[in-house]
Structure formats: C-alpha cells, structure tokens
Amino acid sequence: MNCSSRGKAVFEGPSGRPLAPATKPASTPPLSVETEALQAAIRATTAYMAVADSMQRAVLEGILNRQATIDHVEFHVVASRAKAALLKLQSLEYHFMFATYRRENVEALDKINAELKCRTAVLQKELAEVQKQLSMYRSLGPSFHQQLAEFRHVQQQLLDTQYMLENFKKLNSELQEDPFKLQQDPYDDMY
C-alpha cells in the first residue's frame, strides 16, 4: 500500500501493481451479477492479501515495534472494504438461488426426479428377482455345481460331435461328386 501525495491510499496487489477501485454498473443483467460476485470475491481476496503484505513489510521493517507510526486508518479501510465485499457476496445468495431455481427449471427437475424414481423402482424389482435366483442357486449346494460341470462337459462334447458330423457330411458330398479326386497323389502335380 502506497500513500499518494494527496493523502489517498493506493492499494497494491500481490504483483505490486495498483488495484482497480470497485465500481458498480448501473443495471445488472442476470449473468453479470454472478460475475460481479466473483469479482467481489477476487477484490476481497486481493485486499486481504494487500493487508497481509503490508503487515509483513511492517514486521520486516520493525514498524510494529513502534505502534504510534502505524496508520490504523488505512488498515481499517482495507479491512472494511474486504468485509463489505464478503457481505455483498452473502447478500447475493438469494439472487443466485432465484436465478438457479426458476419455475420452469423446478418443473423440469421434478419430471427428471419422477423418471429417475420410476427407473430406480424397476431396477430394484429386477435386482430382487436376480437375488432370488442367486440365492436359489446357492441353496442347491455342491452337488448341483458338479452336475452343472458335467452338463457343460456333455454340451461341449455334443458341439464337438456336431462339428465333426458337419465335416463328414462335406467330405461325403465331395466324395460323391468326384470319387477319384481323393485317390490322386498330391505330388503328381509337382513333377
């Protein structure tokens, strides 16, 4: 914080550049209020950082040992501006709620909520049915699992047999078309 020749305080940010004074637009559109609130938060944070920087400089220079030389008014101005910015943020809470929860938004959210409850109920019913089936399978015991393994083995053997039968049918149909084709020596064509 620097004091100009006119006695006004110029507040510096963390980079050492002067901070812009807070201004309020004449009329605020709905989205600019949120922007203004964020800017107020930034200004408040910057003001607190300026106070912290000035206090750090004061400690480093040994000014805190001489309480008479500290300009309490400037410190209270910065603190008051920061508090005002925070209070402004708090006062904008209702505006944010109004902008977020408009009548048409609430109706749409109610419809979405009803649809999600319906889907949840359907999924809970399906889950209950699957849990019943699972408990039924668990209650069958190890003998059922052995029978299931044997069933899978027999089913695989059936699939293998079916595959071999299809190949034999193809081979049989080829033999019926040209029976001498298989009797020829495959190496005759090479010489």
pLDDT reported for residue 112: 92
**pLDDT in tens for each of the 191 residues of the chain?**
444 444 444 445 555 555 555 555 455 555 677 778 778 888 888 888 888 888 777 776 665 555 555 566 677 777 888 888 888 887 787 777 777 778 888 888 899 999 999 999 999 999 999 999 888 877 877 788 788 889 999 999 999 999 999 998 888 887 777 666 655 555 655 55
The length of the chain, given as a count of residues: 191
Terminal-to-terminal C-alpha distance of the chain:
104
Q: CB under 8 Å to 55, separation ≥6 — which residues?
A: 64
**R_g (Cα) of the chain, nearest Å:** 42
pTM of the complete model beyond 0.75: no
- What angle, rounded to 10 degrees, do the helices at 30-61 and 93-100 form? 150
What would the pLDDT profile of 71-126 be if each residue is shown by its tens digit? Answer: 666 777 778 888 888 888 877 877 777 777 788 888 888 999 999 999 999 999 99
